[in-house]
Structure 1
């Protein structure tokens, strides 16, 4: 029996399908080699890293990752939404190998690479705003955000920026100043970059009733607070350079910004000469079934920040702007390693794969997964909300669906149980679980993963009775 669309709407995968496409565990977890490496890591590596479980990766292919003890896992974290074409896609590997044998580094800051131009032309063709465009290359999402913050201030001559509670934009000092996801990320690092004001993000599940009318009203209220309160009390609009927004909050809980909210932000920006910055570091590169999550809303940004999935795991951060915005002079901003030839080669091949199959597959498989997941709140009392687009899906765990009380401990228990059964998932926000597999995921792998996930949800639910 093959796994069909029906297998994604209910748990009907056979033992044969699970044996072929599911995890393959050969030792208790962690295995002996993994346990030794984790102990050494605890002794030598910065304790600031966050690890949800003792998974020590050795090799990966597609949606599967093998640890140092030979255990094979289904990877629904994808290196935090990075391995968009799967682990070690053969076309990406070949592009990296070919480029590494030709030229690894010369520094695009002081010299020229033809591939920088080639990638820029490719990105310009799929940008979510009208051209012409300009591009800056760094090494990470945080660097792309740093660039956006600096260029917004430089271009407008204004010092203030607006960001949202729940946002994660990175951990470098400028990006951290925009971040408002968890207190620990900011604790003991003050003073941060001044001039940042945070406002409420339209997290409808936590902020209003269940009807669409109530959700739309709440979304408008969140956006209009900027104009109706901030601009009339503490923040002169003519001194605001930019509004930074994630079209889908990542670390904040995989919360989707309503279209009406994004449209209202665009109206406010247009009215007051403010730049709209879309942080697509996690939601971009095809993950939502379109190149950029903001395209689902029909809103055009002035600046886009990208990284993570754009180069299938190679370090690359990109800040793209409308051409007239990036008007700074030589020396204003640069990066020694940003846009190195190997990362650019990986990005170009990644784009080929995503355009050929990955983006459409993310839309198709993601919708089938969501169709099944949306039945869970009726079946499982600890599942409060299911949301997402494409293969960027959040499942919120609660103690009670009526009170919506957060259940972070239960969420963490589900993540732990999934690991023990060979499924790699991660938490996000206070009490949600993210599903962000590679975009080349097939229906068999999706069905097996959802079966394991649902088994873990049911186990935690049973533990509370």
Structure 2
């Protein structure tokens, strides 16, 4: 029995099945940059970045040093009662970086989930309204508020209701729903009509506090909302006094080739954004950034947590922002994202099971489809990622058939090219029938 298998057997005796989405029988031991090492001392090129929570790579020296240095001075004292120097510094830096017009304030949390919960709290407090609108295909988190606004998996609702009241979901304008021969303008107008339908039939706009969206959906399949559509929704919110929020947990901090995913939409200026995952290079820290008057609407202890914004996590976050700035990771993501996009487009020409390609920075989704019907092929996608793991590349799927491409933004170009070569090999193996079918679809 391998060390991976032995450790997983130990864990299986006590770990609840709801705690992990099942992909591979791997126990990760260490990581450096874009390389992961498992318990059997096998190396993998990481194309997942811990679900986009390690944009600066694994064990970046500057981040490690900041964590170690702060840990020698003060690991924890609750920010609910007292400020610390790294937290004060981070407040200044985040509010300056926010893609929000006017004065900005910040509130800290422990995860993207509670950041999205907090957005609901602040929006309801500021507007005095109850209702919240989110989108199909959304993934906002697993706390009760964020899991209610999510709509990417039935297991995020099954057996755990009733969920948060006052939440209405509308269709996200994903490319899969575009009709044959429909222009983008026609598609946007049709989807905007679907967005407005609740407001015209049962959802009073003047009782709606918030619309929250992922400008680029992550777990929903890496779909970017069309600019025309997002402009229409934002304008509707402005006209009706509804706050507009963007979930930047997955797509922020350089992931999409801009600092924030909403930067792809110059006409849209959110009232609130949720930040998490990579803000502290994977340490448990999140933040809500919002217009100052909105953030001032809620009083303590309406959104305090014992460890949120503690000295070690905020020190890590300051170091993370240093790395993003000093190593030009936003620009790097945009540049290498163009290389990645061209690679996958070329791959699509060679292999008929590669469908639509959506790459925004070092970030995106690649559809695996049946070559004849062009319908999603989750089994083939499972076969591909299984073969990739055997060849030394860690990649997973979302929506069953969508390859998730999110390498660390620090990945060396040579390593990225090596990953591409391995992906080509796996595709050739799939085409030639050299990969065994799994007993079942793995992953989501």
Range of TM-score over shorter length: over 0.9
- Alignment partner, residue 8 of structure 2: 38
Q: How does 1:24-423 map to 2 (within 5 A)?
A: 32-48=2-18, 49-209=20-180, 214-227=183-196, 229-298=197-266, 299-326=268-295, 327-357=297-327, 358-400=329-371, 403-423=373-393
Give the Cα separation in 2 of the matches to 1:220 and 1:125. Answer: 35
Give the Cα separation in 2 of the matches to 1:45 and 1:216. Answer: 49
Q: CA deviation at 1:464?
A: 9.5
Q: CA deviation at 1:328?
A: 1.2
Give the Cα separation in 1 of the matches to 2:374 and 2:233. Answer: 28
Q: CA deviation at 1:248?
A: 0.9
Please list every run of 5 or more consecutive structure 2 residues that lacks an aligned counterpart in the other structure.
436-444
Give the Cα separation in 2 of the matches to 1:154 and 1:38. Answer: 45
Structure 2 counterpart SS, 1:184: helix
Tell me if the contact between 2:171 and 2:195 (Cα under 8 Å) persists in the aligned partners: no
RMSD: 1.6
Q: CA deviation at 1:374?
A: 1.4
Give the Cα separation in 2 of the matches to 1:421 and 1:216. Answer: 43
Tell me if the contact between 1:60 and 1:66 (Cα under 8 Å) persists in the aligned partners: yes
Give the Cα separation in 1 of the matches to 2:192 and 2:60. Answer: 41
Cα separation, partners in 2 of 1:223 and 1:454, compared to 1, 3 Å: farther
C-alpha deviations, 1:209-260, integer Å up to 9, x for none?
4x7x623321332233222x21111111111111110011111111111211
Moved more, 352-361 or 275-284: 352-361
Moved more, 275-284 or 353-362: 353-362
Give the Cα separation in 2 of the matches to 1:333 and 1:309. Answer: 21
Structure 2 counterpart SS, 1:91: helix
Tell me if the contact between 1:315 and 1:343 (Cα under 8 Å) persists in the aligned partners: yes
Give the Cα separation in 1 of the matches to 2:189 and 2:398. Answer: 25
Aligned residues: 431
Give the Cα separation in 2 of the matches to 1:96 and 1:413. Answer: 39
What TM-score does the superposition give when structure 2 sets the normalisation length? Answer: 0.94
Structure 1 counterpart SS, 2:142: coil
- Alignment partner, residue 442 of structure 2: none
C-alpha deviations, 1:389-446, integer Å up to 9, x for none?
1011110111136x43111111111111111111001111232011101100121111
Q: How does 1:439-454 map to 2 (within 5 A)?
A: 439-454=409-424
Give the Cα separation in 1 of the matches to 2:251 and 2:304. Answer: 25
Give the Cα separation in 2 of the matches to 1:427 and 1:216. Answer: 30
Give the Cα separation in 1 of the matches to 2:230 and 2:325. Answer: 26
Q: CA deviation at 1:268?
A: 0.8
Tell me if the contact between 1:204 and 1:218 (Cα under 8 Å) persists in the aligned partners: no
Q: CA deviation at 1:187?
A: 0.7
Structure 2 counterpart SS, 1:374: helix
- Alignment partner, residue 438 of structure 2: none
- Alignment partner, residue 28 of structure 1: none
Tell me if the contact between 2:388 and 2:395 (Cα under 8 Å) persists in the aligned partners: yes
Give the Cα separation in 1 of the matches to 2:105 and 2:224. Answer: 28
Tell me if the contact between 2:126 and 2:294 (Cα under 8 Å) persists in the aligned partners: yes
After the TM superposition, which segments of 4 or more aligned residues of structure 1 sit over 4 Å from their partners?
A: none
Tell me if the contact between 1:365 and 1:442 (Cα under 8 Å) persists in the aligned partners: no
Q: CA deviation at 1:296?
A: 0.8
Please list every run of 5 or more consecutive structure 1 residues that lacks an aligned counterpart in the other structure.
1-30
What TM-score does the superposition give when structure 1 sets the normalisation length? Answer: 0.90
Tell me if the contact between 1:205 and 1:385 (Cα under 8 Å) persists in the aligned partners: no
Q: CA deviation at 1:207?
A: 2.6
Tell me if the contact between 1:223 and 1:265 (Cα under 8 Å) persists in the aligned partners: yes
Give the Cα separation in 2 of the matches to 1:429 and 1:362. Answer: 24
